[in-house]
Amino acid sequence: MKPARWLLLLATLLLIGAGRPWHWNLPLGEAPPPSPVGNAMSAAKVELGRRLFYDADLSANGTLSCAGCHEQHRGFADGNRTRPGVHGDPGLRNVPGLANVAWLPRLTMADPAITSLEAQVAVPLLGEHPVEMGMKGLEAELPRRLGADACYRRMFARAFPDRRGRIDIATVSAALAAFERTLISRDSPYDRDRRGQADALSMSARQGAHLFADKGCASCHAGRDFSDGAYHRLEPATATDPGLAEKTGLTSDAGRFRTPPLRNVAVTGPWWHDGSAQTLDAAILRHGQQLTDAERIAITAFLDSLTDQALLTDPRFAMPDEACGKKL
């Protein structure tokens, strides 16, 4: 076959692979999360993003991947109060879970400007306060490291034919964002109860759901993912972490943090913006509500009913075993 025809055939095959649509596995009637213009979902993009999510080569010294802080069995949270960065810099805030992150209007605890998953990637990857993955100033390392792998070159070409398979911060961010949009949690006992499944909730969890509403918890933990996306102050600000004030410069914003979503909250501890609540019960108490022991137990049972075992165990979200037909 002549070289020109071979190149044309290769380009056609890449376009076909890249164009294979992503199949959303959602409950009947549920609309998929939005994707921004310029980063449409595709199977090739999600596959690439999944591999990148588990690849420690995205960090300065090759020791920390996204999954190193976002563990599937913990609802894609961490389990530590805060997580040190690749150079040992102490973490500033507790690692949040990623369930249903595609629907969140704001994606960090205290920066209202970050509203897209693509933009959020820069926080751990390039951030300096604190340093997490430590790639600031090493942006050229990504195409060098990833481009040295023939399989990665093939995966980027399939995922981004419109960008000629370019490997850089923008395409890495776009692929990671595509994978993160698939981390959907809609099969907890709470969800099954809402869909009419008998006995999906225990009596204690059902009582806790009523208390959660009656005690005003739902005024901030609102909506399907239990967050109003707004910033609130529950305790006095500290010098260690000024919260929203770090971005706005307003004294009135000191100590204000975004309401955390509660999907899979029972497995994402420790809790609070700094991970200082070691138990879910302690986190409930710090909200200042006057609750009896029985009421706290019931609310905790309700929060436990938000745990989606399917998300925590689905092999499609785990570290891939192979890429390009070969074992990793």
Residue ranges for the known binding site for heme c are: 66, 69-70, 217, 220-221
Q: How far is residue 52's CA from residue 116's CA, in Å, rounded to a whole number?
A: 18
Binding-site annotation: residue ranges: 66, 69-70, 217, 220-221
The length of the chain in residues reads 328
Cα–Cα separations (whole angstroms), residue 22 to 43, 152, 182, 318: 5, 20, 9, 17
Structural contact between residues 86 and 61, judged by C-beta atoms closer than 8 angstroms: yes
Which residues have C-beta within 8 Å of that of residue 150, sequence separation ≥ 6?
Answer: 324
Q: How far is residue 34's CA from residue 120's CA, in Å, rounded to a whole number?
A: 16
Closest CA relative to residue 189, chosen from 206, 213, 172, 164: 206
Structural contact between residues 172 and 142, judged by C-beta atoms closer than 8 angstroms: yes
Closest CA relative to residue 78, chosen from 241, 275, 240: 275
Which residues have C-beta within 8 Å of that of residue 87, sequence separation ≥ 6?
Answer: 60, 61, 131, 134
Strand partners, 128: 131
